[in-house]
Amino acid sequence: MLAFLSIWYKFFIKNQLNCFKLFESQSILESISMRLSNYFLPVLKEVPKDAEIVSHRLMLRAGMIRQQAAGLYSWLPLGFKVMQKVQKIVEQEQNRAGAIELLMPTLQPADLWRESGRYDAYGKEMLRITDRGERDLLYGPTNEEMITDIFRSSIKSYKDLPLNLYHVQWKFRDEVRPRFGTMRSREFLMKDAYSFDLNEDEAAKSYNKMFVAYLRTYYRMGLTAIPMRADTGPIGGELSHEFIIIADTGESEVYCHSDLLNKAIPSIDIDYNSDLSSIIDDWTSLFAATDDVADVAEFENAVPNDKRIKARGIEVGQLFYFGDKYSKPMGATVTDSNGKEVAVHMGSYGIGITRIVPAIIEASHDENGIIWPVSVAPFEVIILNLRAKDEECSKVCENLYSELKSANIDVLYDDTDQGAGAKFATADLIGIPFQLVIGPRGVKSGEAEFKNRASGEKNNIPLSGVVQTIVDLVIPQRRDKI
**Residues of this chain that bind ligand 5CA (CB under 6 A):** 142, 173, 175, 184-185, 188, 190, 192, 235, 315-318, 320, 348-350, 352, 354-355
Residue 383 to residue 410: CA distance in whole angstroms:
11
Other residues' Cβ atoms within 10 Å of the Cβ of residue 11: 10
What is the smallest separation between the CB atom of 74 and ligand 5CA, expressed in angstroms? 15
Containing H/E element for 160?
none
What is the smallest separation between the CB atom of 260 and ligand 5CA, expressed in angstroms? 18
Nearer to ligand 5CA, 99 or 470 (CB): 99
User: Count of alpha carbons within 13 Å of 153, Cβ hemisphere only?
Assistant: 6
What is the smallest separation between the CB atom of 318 and ligand 5CA, expressed in angstroms? 4
What is the smallest separation between the CB atom of 452 and ligand 5CA, expressed in angstroms? 30
Query: Could you give the angle at the alpha carbon of 39 between the alpha carbons of 35 and 42, nearest 5°?
Result: 130
Contacts 24+ apart (CB under 8 A), 125-131: 125/173, 125/174, 125/175, 126/173, 126/174, 127/172, 127/174
Nearer to ligand 5CA, 327 or 385 (CB): 327
What is the smallest separation between the CB atom of 225 and ligand 5CA, expressed in angstroms? 10
User: 71-85 b/e with 16+ CB inside 10 Å = b?
Assistant: bebebbebbebbbbb
What is the smallest separation between the CB atom of 265 and ligand 5CA, expressed in angstroms? 19
Nearer to ligand 5CA, 349 or 379 (CB): 349
How do the residues of the chain divide into helix, strand and coil, expressed in percent and rounded to 5? 40, 25, 30
Q: By C-alpha distance, which of 410, 352, 343, 360 is closest to 381?
A: 410
Nearer to ligand 5CA, 188 or 434 (CB): 188
Nearer to ligand 5CA, 83 or 382 (CB): 83
Instruction: Give 13: exposed, middle or buried? Use CB within 10 Å, 0-12, 13-18, 19+.
Output: exposed
Nearer to ligand 5CA, 61 or 171 (CB): 171
CA 153 to chain centre: 32
Alpha helices, DSSP H, located in 77-183: 77-96, 110-116, 118-121, 144-154
Q: By C-alpha distance, which of 27, 31, 32, 39 is closest to 414?
A: 39
Nearer to ligand 5CA, 25 or 169 (CB): 169
What is the smallest separation between the CB atom of 235 and ligand 5CA, expressed in angstroms? 5
Residue 289 · residue 229 · CB < 8 Å: yes
Q: Residue of minimal CB distance from ligand 5CA?
A: 352
Residue 110 to residue 214: CA distance in whole angstroms:
31
Q: By C-alpha distance, which of 254, 250, 207 is closest to 226?
A: 254
User: 24-35 b/e with 16+ CB inside 10 Å = b?
Assistant: ebbbbeebebbb
What is the smallest separation between the CB atom of 319 and ligand 5CA, expressed in angstroms? 8
Nearer to ligand 5CA, 289 or 382 (CB): 289
Nearer to ligand 5CA, 222 or 352 (CB): 352
Nearer to ligand 5CA, 34 or 204 (CB): 204
What is the smallest separation between the CB atom of 250 and ligand 5CA, expressed in angstroms? 11
What is the smallest separation between the CB atom of 71 and ligand 5CA, expressed in angstroms? 7
Strand residues in 198-279 grouped as ranges (E)? 225-229, 239-246, 252-257
DSSP state of 437: E
